[in-house]
Amino acid sequence: MGERARQVLPSVLSVLLALAVCWLLIAITRDADTATRAYVQMLWGGVGNWPAFLDGGSATSVTRPLGEAAMKAALLTLTGLSVAVAFKVGLFNIGAQGQMIWGALAAALVGAHVALPGALHVPLALAAAAVAGAAWASIAGVLKLKRGVHEVISTIMLNWVAVSLVDNWLVIGPLRAVAEGASSITGTAEILPSAQLPRLLGDSSRLNLGFPLALAAALGVWVWLTRTRSGYETRAVGLTPEAARAAGIPTLWRAGGAMALAGALAGLAGAVLVLGTEGRYPGSLGAPYGFDGIAIALIGNNHPLGAALAAAVFGVLRAGGTRMQLLGVHKSFPELIQGFALLFVAGRMVWLALLARRQKRAQAQAQAGVEVPRA
């Protein structure tokens, strides 16, 4: 079994097993036919109803679902990358949600209150979000590296601080949009059109610049980790900190830098949400994409491209989940699938042991040249 297969196979098998288990759950509570049809609906809801489109249906039947999936995949990719990057340096970033909240707020404020041409406005808003997320993550980073505060504890708590400060105070208090006619607006002011992420497939699809941006981020992180000196140093610090120190690598800077980058990526997720779909910081950020990032990173084996791939899969499943309701299956099933997949991926070592045993048996067969009875 090659090294690549060892990295990829457990995740793939886990997702497939999770799909099978959830299919079984629907089949038990309803019947097998419904389960299968619900899965088909989920697929059409995620990647588009290609049969209908090819039969002469409208392009919207494909572009709209793809847009929904891409939008969710973009957010999951960025928060998944956030968790994965921190993990590369040995830190467990549970705080992507809080970092995303600050990123979303920064993007909303720059988007609404700075007047610039589009070519500058979007980059500025994105940069502001990245900086805000990085700053919030760096609180946990500095606490960890200077005072030894465990990052799991500090990032979890900083999530709640972010929720309290932003959702429970700023956006319903000082930063609340002044109502113009409308009676009850929650959240911040609407961003200017120049700050909106351009839509790529027309108005009927919510596919926007956020998706290619997230993919570029994944690619960028991967190139950084594997091809640059500082990425190499970061991995060394994460794998064997003492050896990295002995080799003259500035371990604190690398660890702190990775944590800040993790925050920046989560902050970008907030910006993509605000600039791409919400149009302002809503009364509450709602969907816990930051927490989902943990699952995405783990299912993606903490590999940047793996996280992007896992995000694409679950983006599709989630976008399609709503269509399951047509058959009376609850739309939260994709989340259940994600949960099961995470559970199974946690048993990575079990998968590897099973795969190794299979391989051994195959080798024994090949060597003996005879059929070995299955144990």
Class of residue 362 by CB neighbours under 10 A (exposed 0-12, middle 13-18, buried 19+): exposed
Query: What's the N-to-C CA distance of the chain in angstroms?
Result: 21
Nearer to another protein, 233 or 292 (CB): 233
Task: Pick from 23, 53, 92, 232 the residue near another protein by CB under 8 A.
Answer: 232
| Smallest separation, CB 138 to another protein (Å) | 22
Task: Pick from 248, 328, 369, 373 the residue near another protein by CB under 8 A.
Answer: 248
Nearer to another protein, 181 or 248 (CB): 248
Query: Does position 308 bind another protein by CB under 8 A?
Result: no
Task: Pick from 32, 59, 246, 364 the residue near another protein by CB under 8 A.
Answer: 246
Count the site residues for another protein by CB under 8 A: 21
Q: Which stretch binds another protein (CB under 8 A): 34-42, 146-154, 246-254, 291-299?
A: 246-254
Contact 238, 88 (CB under 8 A): yes
Task: Pick from 240, 359, 363, 365 the residue near another protein by CB under 8 A.
Answer: 240
Query: Three-state SS for 79?
Result: helix
Residue 174: both structure tokens together: 């000082």
| Smallest separation, CB 236 to another protein (Å) | 5
Nearer to another protein, 103 or 231 (CB): 231
- Eight-state DSSP code of residue 44: H
Nearer to another protein, 251 or 338 (CB): 251
Residue 174 CB partners (closer than 8 Å, separation 6+)? none
Instruction: Measure the CA–CA gap between 82 and 307, rounded to whole angstroms.
Output: 10
Task: Pick from 68, 167, 233, 278 the residue near another protein by CB under 8 A.
Answer: 233
Nearest to 45 by CA among 334, 336, 322: 322
| Smallest separation, CB 5 to another protein (Å) | 15
| Smallest separation, CB 257 to another protein (Å) | 14
* Interface with another protein in residues 148-187 (CB under 8 A): none
Residue 152 CB partners (closer than 8 Å, separation 6+)? 92, 94
Task: Pick from 236, 255, 272, 295 the residue near another protein by CB under 8 A.
Answer: 236
Residue 109 CB partners (closer than 8 Å, separation 6+)? 128, 175, 188, 281
Nearer to another protein, 34 or 230 (CB): 230
Instruction: Measure the CA–CA gap between 321 and 333, rounded to whole angstroms.
Output: 7
Query: Does position 228 bind another protein by CB under 8 A?
Result: yes
Query: Does position 7 bind another protein by CB under 8 A?
Result: no
Class of residue 368 by CB neighbours under 10 A (exposed 0-12, middle 13-18, buried 19+): exposed
Class of residue 35 by CB neighbours under 10 A (exposed 0-12, middle 13-18, buried 19+): buried
Query: Three-state SS for 78?
Result: helix
Task: Pick from 1, 24, 247, 326 the residue near another protein by CB under 8 A.
Answer: 247
| Smallest separation, CB 300 to another protein (Å) | 18
| Smallest separation, CB 222 to another protein (Å) | 13
Task: Pick from 245, 283, 322, 335 the residue near another protein by CB under 8 A.
Answer: 245
Task: Pick from 229, 349, 371, 373 the residue near another protein by CB under 8 A.
Answer: 229
| Smallest separation, CB 254 to another protein (Å) | 12
Residue 74 CB partners (closer than 8 Å, separation 6+)? 210, 211, 213, 214, 269, 272, 276, 311, 315
Instruction: Measure the CA–CA gap between 43 and 39, rounded to whole angstroms.
Output: 6
Nearer to another protein, 226 or 359 (CB): 226
Query: Does position 250 bind another protein by CB under 8 A?
Result: yes
| Smallest separation, CB 116 to another protein (Å) | 31
Interface residues with another protein (CB under 8 A) are: 3, 226-230, 232-233, 235-236, 239-240, 242-250
